[in-house]
Structure 1
């Protein structure tokens, strides 16, 4: 079936969520839909935790400034990569071809899929433990409970963008309302937030450490937002939706976490709520926070796998829902096996390698402007990626600046410089 994208004809692959082709004009979404689906991803419990850690470690004015700076960086990444997705109609994995080449991008896609699976399994394990601790009558073991949780998240992911849209329209307002109820309840229980402005942290943390937590915690999410941004109808819609979504999902929840942490002296939102007898409010907020995030992870991983299959005989033959089920199944197995105990080093390793890809894509699109999507492998991109990963690792070990940002800036600069020097040789090779 042929459709148009800005006057160009594209061919739709049924059941693959436009994984191989630009999203056609007829399937672009409204501003409201785009905002809700984009907001669903960063509305997560981890943002309460991040905000809480920043809140208890800084004075309130410094915490607010840090939250604004950290989230400003995340929004800049969302808008830069999101603009490319809007313009081309391509997902994150297929955008990476413009820098890595057709087969080179498969390496990134594999890491993207692995990262998504690890996050899904980790959150499945965490939520299963929360259920066990909240309801004494729940008799199923953590392993089976985790599998059930992941199976629920999969229900919206297998339905593609439409599924994400449905759960986001339900989950985003519910998560926000329940979160606000919790924050106001904490305010009442602690006599209001009057002492917030005069708060002095017992164990101060530095601006660099705080911004590292904020940016590092959600740079992966910002990196894969093109998967949703490709459905935008206009640049205006993209900018409004991107800023609104991350202002609500990241900045908003982190701010709430900081307020609760300063008022209760506890940086963990759910623990603070439980101490005040509000476990059920925290639990139901967690349901929606996790669902709207993890179905996005499953969806993004499916698109990454389709990018790998594009260069094989299986292109277009395996539907999105089947890949999503396999991804969710793997995550469920890992969660049931207790991957929670072993997964953190994996996540830390991936957090150093995935963000630099944004720098490569940005460098190619805005500065080099010589797409490598028809090449098999672009060695310049791989070398730049490796150098950026090393720079990120050094930044992490030396505790200097923000490792993900070091990676993004390094990959962009190195890629642009090497491309200007050797691009002609690469293109003719």
Structure 2
């Protein structure tokens, strides 16, 4: 009596979020900002920072890339708030009871890979920054692998409380660092006068900006489904993926432009802020790692059809730590870039299914499980992934658009051929 239900403790992994569990704007926004504040995004920004003049070219690339990214995430955020469902649960409607397990695997293993990369990264950087021997790397990986999953184990409340503390501190340190960098470059005029030292096409640069977080953005529904209104979900997603992710790209680009260094911790060391840099690195990676392993737990719950999210959180963190110890740090990035191409079509199909097939209103979740496999969704996903891989342009966005169009067209054709069929 009076205690929290098992579903509440586990954050409703197999059901819509009920009205009484919905949260306001601040709660959703700080979690999503903590998720998008990620060191890898800064390094992506560093790659483009040395290839364009700061104004207007670099700013235009960053703005365009993040507008495209935010638009996609905002659309998914709206659907998740209206339905109370996350990406893996919405996948049952367009892929079927069995077919939806493929997106579960793709989304889950994408995030396990990132968890391994983040765990290895902070261990390697700490041994270097603190001048520890290489023998410390493995113990630190184990330590961080366990630590980072703690707030995710608690659930939404744990993610929220950590982000409420860490996000303002990181923002303050970033603002101070940008001010010092501007001073060191000779003011705004000095920054504007810095000439690019590398070349890169606009399409490639926008691809890097979009690709920094589009796989994670596809699973931002894990938190926007807790939003109390559509405006809350849309506003929080726009803030995090337009301004938050954009700030991370800008910081990396700015450091590369002024100091020739995209690693924010190294930039802070050059500015005499190393202590703050170490704290920031830890908070920066923790607020992304806990969200990442939370994504793993939600995908795992749908894959195994279980409500035991906390148990899967521990299992996912353990697997990610093992992969970090096995050296996934060295070969993860190309692998994750490929998964970053394979993940976005899932979101494109979900958006088409909600908007075109269900006309903005899902039936009860139980109806999504009537069909084992919805072949229209499976075929559209495979075709869109192939198009994204082999077509010119921005692969993640190409995959989203292709998936949306192919799924919509496929359902229209099948509806005309078999008007009364439940499974198409």
Q: TM-score under structure 2 normalisation?
A: 0.91
Does the 8 Å contact 2:78/2:233 carry over to 1? yes
The question of 1:365 aligning with 2:354 is answered yes
Runs (5+) with no aligned partner, structure 1: 2-10
CA shift, 1:191, in A, is: 3.3
Matched residues, number = 410
Does the 8 Å contact 2:69/2:242 carry over to 1? no
Question: Aligned partners of 1:199, 1:380: CA distance in 2, in Å?
Answer: 52
Question: Aligned partners of 1:117, 1:20: CA distance in 2, in Å?
Answer: 20
Task: After superposition, give the CA deviation of every residue in 1:128-183 in whole Å (9 maximum; x if it has no partner).
Answer: 11000000256752122111112111110001101110111111112112222222
Give the match's secondary structure for 2:189. Answer: coil
The question of 1:210 aligning with 2:205 is answered yes
Does the 8 Å contact 1:179/1:285 carry over to 2? no
The question of 1:378 aligning with 2:370 is answered no
Task: After superposition, give the CA deviation of every residue in 1:55-107 in whole Å (9 maximum; x if it has no partner).
Answer: 21111111111111111111111111111110110111101112111211111
Q: How does 1:126-275 map to 2 (within 5 A)?
A: 126-137=121-132, 140-275=135-270
The question of 1:328 aligning with 2:317 is answered yes
Question: Aligned partners of 2:201, 2:331: CA distance in 1, in Å?
Answer: 28
Q: How does 1:280-429 map to 2 (within 5 A)?
A: 280-310=275-305, 315-316=306-307, 319-369=308-358, 373=368, 374-395=370-391, 400-423=392-415, 425=418, 427=422
Q: How does 1:37-52 map to 2 (within 5 A)?
A: 37-52=31-46
CA shift, 1:282, in A, is: 2.3
Q: Which of 42, 65, 68 lines up with 1:70 in the alignment?
A: 65
Q: CA RMSD in A?
A: 2.0
Question: Aligned partners of 2:423, 2:333: CA distance in 1, in Å?
Answer: 42
Does the 8 Å contact 1:182/1:281 carry over to 2? no
Question: Aligned partners of 2:146, 2:383: CA distance in 1, in Å?
Answer: 39
CA shift, 1:123, in A, is: 1.0
Give the match's secondary structure for 2:192. Answer: coil
The question of 1:20 aligning with 2:14 is answered yes
Question: Aligned partners of 1:285, 1:138: CA distance in 2, in Å?
Answer: 22
CA shift, 1:53, in A, is: 2.0
CA shift, 1:12, in A, is: 6.9
